Amino acid sequence: MKKKVLFLIQDLKHGGAEKVLVNLANNLDKEKYDVTIKTLFNRGVHIKNIKDGVKYIPGLKWEIRGNSHIIRKIPAKSLFKFFVKDKYDIIVAFLEGNATRVLSGCTDKDAKKVAWVHIEMNSIKTSFSDTKEAAKVYNSFDKTVFVSNTVKEAFEKAAGQTFNNGIVLYNVNETEDIKIRSREKIDDAHFSKDEVNIISVAKLVPSKGYDRLIPALAKANENREKKAHLYLLGIGEQQSELEALAKKHNIDEYVTFLGFKENPYKYLAAADFYICSSRREGFSTAVTEALVCGTPVVSTKCSGATELLGENNEYGIVVENSEEGVIKGLFAMLDNDKYKEYKSLAKTRGEYFSTENTTRAVEDMFEGLF
């Protein structure tokens, strides 16, 4: 008998966790699992990426402003009854916050409950009245999955306790698809051989640290004959601010905003190296994808960075999480063309996070619930 699995998430907008969920659902063994994705709100670019064999149940047509505050006031059992209409063997809250609160209201004692945590959290009480209630809920789940060891450590520190049901599982990426699409031709940007081409993929929001990356790039380009050119793939609230910042530092000709791209992999593969300047991450999907493309990476020391790149910079360069750290990271890669030495190492590391390996780990976790 196949096990019926429900994944619940806020929506499927352009975010790392949303993309990872679709990857995971698409790749689970359909001989073993009957897979359903349910959203609280029917929105997102990743809906169309759900493949045949995975059922999608859309949520509410309109996202409610301040929905977390509203959901916090409604009894969890009522929320569960409203959003979940069928019976499942495994129910998964794939994102911290609203989805976790909704599934905490499940009264089916036969259903196994799993909660996923994707980011370093300074507070775990999102969608809950306080930390005590949140900790009680997470402890009630059969498993709480963290996407990296540092995410787990931060969560337990914020909760003030350890979680015996906690487990670390790395994100699922479509590695073969990434490799195939990375070979497509770029027709809307020019990566010059006379420049060092740097790329970063993320929402243009403060947590991604682009407001410190742009001044760092200006510093790195001073007195450098071969200039570095930064390509940013993403959209977000900070774009106009970042464009102004590039002009302020007189490097607007070396910062190109490419917007959101359906296929970021061809840009990743064409770049000389990738930079993650984030103030915080969970387990960076974009960094993992860069490694799969064989693109060298420099990253601030945010969650998952050393797990991806090595404790001693074996597969990439990890720097202090500060503007000075970003500057040092750029210099480390640019001086003596260091990025060239990391190309084969990046490709080797990317193989470790193959679709097969990461999906099998989730399936093993599911089987261990019974």
At 48-66, the pLDDT tens digits run 999 999 999 999 988 777 7
Structural domain boundaries in the chain: 3-172+354-367, 176-352
- What does the pLDDT average to over 297-302? 96
- What does the pLDDT average to over 73-98? 95
Helix, strand, coil share of the chain (percent; to 5) = 40, 20, 40
User: pLDDT-derived band of residue 299, with 50, 70 and 90 as boundaries?
Assistant: very high
Q: What is the pTM of this model?
A: 0.82
User: pLDDT-derived band of residue 129, with 50, 70 and 90 as boundaries?
Assistant: confident
What 8-state DSSP symbol labels residue 313?
A: S
For CA atoms 50, 239, 171, 184, the dihedral sign is positive
Q: Report the alpha-carbon distance of residue 308 to residue 200 in Å, rounded.
A: 16
Question: 64 and 84 in contact (C-beta within 8 Å)?
Answer: no
- Residue 303 is predicted with a pLDDT of 84
DSSP secondary structure letters along 325-352: HHHHHHHHHHGGGGGGGGHHHHHHHHHH
Phi, psi of 233 (to 5 degrees): -105, 115
Residue keyed to tokens 């693109």: 295
Inform me whether the pLDDT recorded for 272 exceeds 80.
Answer: yes
Question: 209 and 279 in contact (C-beta within 8 Å)?
Answer: yes
Q: Report the alpha-carbon distance of residue 112 to residue 369 in Å, rounded.
A: 7
Domain made up of 176-352: CATH architecture? 3-Layer(aba) Sandwich (3.40)
- 52-61, 203-212, 280-289: the lowest-pLDDT one: 280-289
Percent with pLDDT over 70 in the chain = 100
β strands within 122-254, DSSP E? 143-146, 166-168, 196-201, 228-233
Closest CA to 148 of 282, 328, 316: 282
- 176-352 and 3-172+354-367 share a CATH fold: yes
Percent with pLDDT over 90 in the chain = 89
Inform me whether the pLDDT recorded for 248 exceeds 90.
Answer: yes
The domain covering 3-172+354-367 belongs, at the CATH homologous superfamily level, to Glycogen Phosphorylase B; (3.40.50.2000)
